[in-house]
């Protein structure tokens, strides 16, 4: 069972999400006001599902404001059909997205995939000079300073670090970090990698290398 927060200005959508997710035993709390959601104790939730188009404060701006204080995966609900819009949302710190209208099976599968990833047991650390990955805490640090990675950004780094020197395509990284049923595309994976690399470079490390025409590898 997980604690899930759903954020949508339409009460009917919140009720539908709660009905579906409670079938899997999850504790679901709905919020129809993004401004109120911004002030909630978000650290107590295991996963957040957030609509994009909301009055007052849209989902993009909400996630931009809360991402640094939320370690849980964030899934966008979006009625927008443009891949560019989806990639923008991922670039702001979301981990995945689900297009409206969505099927119950797709919703349940996507939530289950992210929760499985978050609840896996990790009992050791990997060290590469100044760069250290703490599997238990799911944190990557450089010279002792924690890198503010999203869950998906961390997952990609861990996957590559565990397989140091091997090259993986964006499709392979998408499956490893988001699950085979993710709606995200290769451009979204590139966005996650780009944001992770920028955060690590800001701390003085550059462990992920681009292998042109092939994908990415851990180069430390």
The pLDDT value given to residue 168: 94
Quickly state the pLDDT bin for 181 (edges 50, 70, 90).
low
H or E stretch covering 208: strand 208-211
pLDDT higher than threshold 60 for residue 135: yes
The pLDDT value given to residue 141: 95
Helix, strand, coil percent content, the chain, rounded in steps of 5: 45, 20, 35
The pLDDT value given to residue 85: 67
| Joined tokens for residue 41 | 């104790």
pLDDT higher than threshold 60 for residue 180: no
pLDDT average, residue stretch 153-165: 91
> How far is it, in rounded angstroms, from Cα 218 to Cα 209?
6
The pLDDT value given to residue 125: 82
Domains recognised in the chain with CATH numbers: 3-119 (3.40.50.2300), 125-218 (1.10.10.10)
> Count of alpha carbons within 13 Å of 72, Cβ hemisphere only?
22
pLDDT average, residue stretch 194-217: 94
Round to the nearest angstrom and report the end-to-end CA distance of the chain. Answer: 38
pLDDT higher than threshold 80 for residue 44: yes
Tell me what percent of the residues of the chain surpass a pLDDT of 90.
49
Read off the pLDDT of residues 68-126 as tens digits, 9 standing for 90 and up.
778 788 999 887 656 666 667 777 788 888 888 889 999 999 899 888 876 655 557 88
pLDDT higher than threshold 70 for residue 53: yes
- pTM > 0.85: no
Q: In this predicted model, which residue has the larger pLDDT, 202 or 69? A: 202
The pLDDT value given to residue 80: 67
Q: What's the whole-number average pLDDT of the chain?
A: 87
Cβ-contact 75, 93 below 8 angstroms: no
Quickly state the pLDDT bin for 201 (edges 50, 70, 90).
very high
């Amino acid at each position: 069972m997980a604690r899930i927060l759903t954020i949508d200005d339409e009460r009917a959508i919140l009720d539908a999400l709660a009905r579906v997710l409670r079938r899997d035993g999850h504790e679901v709390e709905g919020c129809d006001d993004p401004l109120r959601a911004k002030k909630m104790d978000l650290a107590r939730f295991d996963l957040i599902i957030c609509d994009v188009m909301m009055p007052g404060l849209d989902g993009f701006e909400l996630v931009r404001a809360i991402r640094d204080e939320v370690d849980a995966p964030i899934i966008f609900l979006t009625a927008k059909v443009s891949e560019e819009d989806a990639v923008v949302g991922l670039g702001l710190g979301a981990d995945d997205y689900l297009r409206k209208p969505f099927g119950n099976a797709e919703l349940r599968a996507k939530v289950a995939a992210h929760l499985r990833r978050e609840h896996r047991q990790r009992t050791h650390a990997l060290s590469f000079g100044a760069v250290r990955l703490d599997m238990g805490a799911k944190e990557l640090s450089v010279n002792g300073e924690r890198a503010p990675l999203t869950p998906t950004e961390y997952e990609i780094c861990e996957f590559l670090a565990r397989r140091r020197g091997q090259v993986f395509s964006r499709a392979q990284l998408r499956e490893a970090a988001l699950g085979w049923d993710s709606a995200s595309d290769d451009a979204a994976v590139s966005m996650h990698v780009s944001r992770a690399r920028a955060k690590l470079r800001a701390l003085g490390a550059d462990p992920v290398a681009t292998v042109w025409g092939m994908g990415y590898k851990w180069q430390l």
